[in-house]
Amino acid sequence: MRKIIEYMIQPSLPERLIPLAGLAKNLWWAWQPDAVSLFSRLDPELWVETNHNPVKLLGLISQSRLEQLAEDDGFTTHMDRVLYNMTDYMESSYWYQKVHQKKMGDIRIAYFSAEFGISESLPIYSGGLGILAGDHLKSASDLGLPLVGVGLLYQQGYFQQYLNPDGWQQEFYPENDFYNMPVFPVLDDNGDVVKVDVQYPGRMVWAKVWRCQVGRTPLYLLDTNIKENNAQDRTITQQLYGGDIRTRIEQEVMLGMGGVKALKKCGIDATVYHMNEGHSAFLALERIKNLIHDNGMTFSQAKEEVIASSVFTTHTPVPAGNDVFSPDMIMEYFSEYQRSIGIEANDLLGLGRQNPHDHHEPFCMTSLAIRLSAFCNGVSELHSQVSKKMWANIYNGLDVEDVPIRAITNGVHIRSWLSEDMWRLFDRYLGQQWAHDPANDSVWRRVHDIPDSELWRTHERRRERLVSFARNWAKAQLTKRGAPKVEIKRADEILRPDALTIGFARRFATYKRANLLFSDLERLKKIVSDSDRPVQFVIAGKAHPKDNQGKNLIKNIIHWTRDEGLRDSIVFLENYDINVARYMVQGVDVWMNTPRRPLEASGTSGMKASANGALNFSVLDGWWCEGYKVDTGWAIGSGEEYDDPATQDLIESRAIYDLLEKEIIPTFYNRGKDDMPREWIRMMKASLSNLNIFFNTNRMVRNYTTYFYLPCATRWKAMAGSGRTRLYDLANWKRDVNAKWNGVSLDEIKVANNDGLKVGQMLEASSFINLGGLKSEDLKIELYFGQIDSHNVMIKGKPAPMAFDQMDGDRAVFKGSIPLTESGRHGFAVRIMPHNPDLFDRIEPGLVHWS
């Protein structure tokens, strides 16, 4: 093989334009319309061709054009304004500095995710999970939160989609050119590239560390495609969600364990670690190993410190969506790890099992993350309830309602998804606080001050822009496919700029039911072909390369839309990405979503559309259960769940047509003399005001900070102070409790006044507990009370505390009372759980006794 001597070529910018290079490398520009406009102004056609990548743009633009712009006062004034705004943004104090920094001191949150969707110029995302992670980083920057992101830098990222003439999805994987992207290698104090080594079976795998700057938030990305690795290991970070189960575990080892090593190498000592989905859960194992080797801790002590400072967010409402590995595979990759930290193989495997004593159960990344985190959450209220049921076995003995998986509903980074037209409208009527004070939610109430005519004309311009984009996109698709010229020319006539436009775009998984709209083709044709009240649909989305059912959905839609009665009114846009999504959410009148409840964990595309004034039309699943009101959009069904999917599909497809015909279309086309749909505009304002105030990542990140990050950081500081004495005491106490737990039992219950009870009284009860060698203060005793249904099952149970009263021989007596607030048949049981002030109300998995 020939020896190649590498060298780097940098853009040759005139001195006056040198600041553009720094601006291009901070993705702050991605949510600043003025900055986007500046880069587009360099060369509008090249800006589109480079997929809105300013780093590549600066390397391709002609020298004569750069020289011309350097002498253009209009351009340089524009550049200076953008640079001033970025400097002001980077140096100002925001919510965290003003509210929390003085109290908390120096802390750092490390946010791990397998994908980050920040800009189309950095294609290392596949869909909603990645977009959410990118929006999380942007809001952390806006709020001044001391957070860093950690992920993988994929050589090919997620696939690009195109359809063959028959409508079958094809995939291709363009190579990412990191040196022409907004990422740069991390260098150490000697100017050498930072690399980390991670133990794999029988070998070390190396990863190069890159950095991407997202406003004030750094994102560190690991890349294994370097010369230190063999050919196979260089492909570990080749594709997002590519390869087989072995590729998956090797990526997750690199993300979790390599990510912790990368932070350490970069001098970042994180206080709190946030696992966004289970992909990164191996980070907890790496942290345990470091604490054992670097601080001389035992396994149980190190585990307590990791738990105290870890947060986990689950996104998957179906068991099959959670990564699972066989015990043999885990031991293949972690046998040396297990020996190095001095624990038994089954102790390691038990961390990833719902029942740690079931040696046949596979190892689940979600179970691992739940067991080693202080806080866990789902991404909507409904998803939290679904997750409690899914993972209740980890907390064997707790009622489902008590499983400690909280809800922090997702949001979107509104400024990233808002059209420039709407941005200006908000500036004019909401004041600049909506953009410059991200913690101020009250500004959204001023949406009602926007004149109806201005809001409607702004929206109409964006719909016209979407129609123009869709036509051009469709023509490009047809040209690539080799379609006849007459068919390409006809693409100029698809869609109407004045018609009711409905968007549907998402991953083409079968549970999202993209085919529901096409259940009755004749009825659909009648709806879209009404010349007085036309309706049109813009559809986009990808199926996973291995999901043939999803690919069939796309193929069927393509075939259906070729019908003469549908072809001009329904268009499928290939290669759904951030850019396509932006045009869609900014331009549609209605955003439609048809998941099979309760399989949509949250969904955020509808939030992006509502931020731009679109109305949502969705099954009551995910976030829409919380967002829906009669004036913010329409609900398909009433939140029912069916045993028979076919029946559900039939009922809800009919509901779609009924709502379109009887409510949505009439409301849109009910115009006054001024040709404005006043009722529709009223709903737009209600949606903008009521939904933007809550369904945004500024609120979401503040929730994570207030409920999880700061309590974790406070707890970690308390436990780690004074030579970690409290931490060691807690670990010893837990070991003692586990050893003696089977000896704890309830011996007797006495009720003081069980006859003639009336509303307003208190029911007094005493419980006699065998301590099993523990102390009374080691236990939390509760009366768990509620209504009794016809099946003799307690419903809507609530706990009431019982306090230690005295010793009765070898038994501890606890007393408590239950408030009698309503009449009817009720009952109670006594619940026993471990108690220690340093648990900070964390419920220990599996340690519950009942009467």
**Mean pLDDT: which of 107-111, 242-246, 840-844 is highest?**
107-111
Confidence of residue 319 (pLDDT cuts 50, 70, 90): confident
Confidence of residue 720 (pLDDT cuts 50, 70, 90): confident
pLDDT digits (tens, 9 = 90+) for 56-76: 999 999 999 999 999 999 999
The single-letter code of the amino acid at 328 is D
Of all residues in the chain, what percent are helix, strand and coil, respectively (each to 5)?
45, 20, 35
- In the prediction, which pLDDT does 793 show? 87
Question: How many C-beta atoms surround the C-beta of residue 158 within 10 A?
Answer: 24
Query: For 755-783, what is the HEC assignment?
Result: CCCCCCCEEEEEEEEECCCCCHHHEEEEE
Inter-CA distances, 758 with 70, 452, 600, 788, Å? 85, 57, 44, 17
- In the prediction, which pLDDT does 8 show? 66
Confidence of residue 846 (pLDDT cuts 50, 70, 90): confident
- In the prediction, which pLDDT does 435 show? 86
- In the prediction, which pLDDT does 549 show? 94
Inter-CA distances, 451 with 426, 430, 678, 681, 808, Å? 11, 12, 11, 10, 75
DSSP state of 601: S
Range in 311-315, 436-440, 693-697, 810-814 the model is least confident about? 436-440
Question: Is the model's pLDDT at 743 over the cut of 80?
Answer: yes
pLDDT digits (tens, 9 = 90+) for 244-303: 999 999 999 999 999 999 999 999 999 999 999 999 999 999 999 999 999 999 999 999
Whole-structure pTM value: 0.95
Confidence of residue 770 (pLDDT cuts 50, 70, 90): very high
Main-chain phi, psi angles of 689, to 5 degrees = -75, -45
- In the prediction, which pLDDT does 790 show? 87
User: What is the overall mean pLDDT for the chain?
Assistant: 94
Question: Is the model's pLDDT at 742 over the cut of 80?
Answer: yes
Overall average pLDDT of the 677-683 stretch? 97
Which H/E stretch holds residue 260? Answer: helix 259-265
Beta-strand runs (E) in 553-654: 570-573, 590-593, 615-619, 633-636
Question: Is the model's pLDDT at 782 over the cut of 90?
Answer: yes
The single-letter code of the amino acid at 596 is R
Work out the angle between the directed axes of helices 420-430 and 452-481 (0-180°, nearest 10). 170
Which H/E stretch holds residue 563? Answer: none
Overall average pLDDT of the 14-29 stretch? 96
CA angle 404/405/409 to nearest 5° reads: 145
Percent of the chain with pLDDT over 90: 87
Question: Is the model's pLDDT at 1 over the cut of 90?
Answer: no
CB 130 within 8 A of CB 112: no
Q: How far apart are CA 627 and CA 646, in angstroms?
A: 27
Range in 165-174, 545-554, 583-592, 839-848 the model is least confident about? 839-848
Confidence of residue 578 (pLDDT cuts 50, 70, 90): very high
- In the prediction, which pLDDT does 327 show? 97
- In the prediction, which pLDDT does 756 show? 80
Range in 176-180, 374-378, 756-760 the model is least confident about? 756-760
Overall average pLDDT of the 129-145 stretch? 97
- In the prediction, which pLDDT does 348 show? 97
- In the prediction, which pLDDT does 582 show? 96
Transcribe 455-496 into DSSP letters: HHHHHHHHHHHHHHHHHHHHHHHHHHHT--HHHHHHGGGSS-
Q: How far apart are CA 278 and CA 287, in angstroms?
A: 16
Confidence of residue 7 (pLDDT cuts 50, 70, 90): low
Task: List residues bridging with 375 in a β-sheet.
Answer: 311
CA angle 307/311/315 to nearest 5° reads: 135
Provide the token pair at 579: 């850019």
Overall average pLDDT of the 363-392 stretch? 97
